[in-house]
């Protein structure tokens, strides 16, 4: 039986969403506030993208992310996959949490952090073996 491939991409900049803001290697995710008095906050994170085509439901993209974390000596973090058949699926290594803030502050903060970094870090693999680091202008 032939497995369907999932293509993981570096997503376009998204600064007007109701759920996630994206600017380069920085994201802000909306979190509801049932644990903080019903206030909504935006959790800002530094991420590195996993890109390429992987077989569906084999979790090779997660394995690659874990391999990157080990080879780069990242002491914290985890790998997250979001499957979106129509708009491009994403997978990323969450490097660090940068704080919680309101949406306007989060938007400004991730734009500033991306501007200071100046490029986008993404990882792929050669024949599902060694991680390959890419520095992309975006």
105 has a pLDDT exceeding 60? yes
Helix (H, G, I), strand (E, B) or coil at 9: coil
Mean pLDDT of the 33-38 span: 64
Predicted TM-score of the model (pTM): 0.89
Domain that holds residue 109: 5-11+14-136
1 has a pLDDT exceeding 60? no
Please state, rounded to an integer, the average pLDDT across all residues of the chain: 88
How many structural domains compose the chain?
1
Structure tokens at 58: 């084999």
CA–CA dist 86, 133 (Å, integer): 26
Half-sphere exposure of 43 (CA within 13 A, CB side): 9
85 has a pLDDT exceeding 70? no
CA–CA dist 48, 106 (Å, integer): 18
Buried b (16+ CB within 10 A) or exposed e, 53-64: ebeeeeebbbeb
Predicted confidence band of residue 54 (pLDDT cuts 50, 70, 90) = confident
């Amino acid at each position: 039986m032939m497995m369907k491939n999932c293509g993981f991409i570096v997503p376009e900049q998204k600064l007007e969403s109701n759920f996630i803001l994206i600017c380069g290697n920085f994201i802000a995710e909306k979190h509801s506030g049932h644990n903080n008095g019903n206030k909504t906050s935006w959790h800002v994170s530094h991420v590195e993208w996993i890109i390429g085509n992987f077989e569906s439901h084999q979790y090779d993209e997660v394995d690659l992310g874990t391999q990157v974390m080990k080879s780069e000596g990242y002491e914290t973090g985890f790998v997250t996959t979001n499957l979106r058949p129509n708009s491009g699926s994403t997978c990323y290594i969450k490097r660090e949490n940068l704080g919680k803030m309101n949406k306007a502050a989060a938007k400004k903060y991730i734009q500033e952090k991306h501007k200071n970094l100046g490029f986008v870090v993404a990882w792929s693999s050669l024949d599902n073996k060694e991680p390959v680091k890419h520095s992309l202008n975006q």
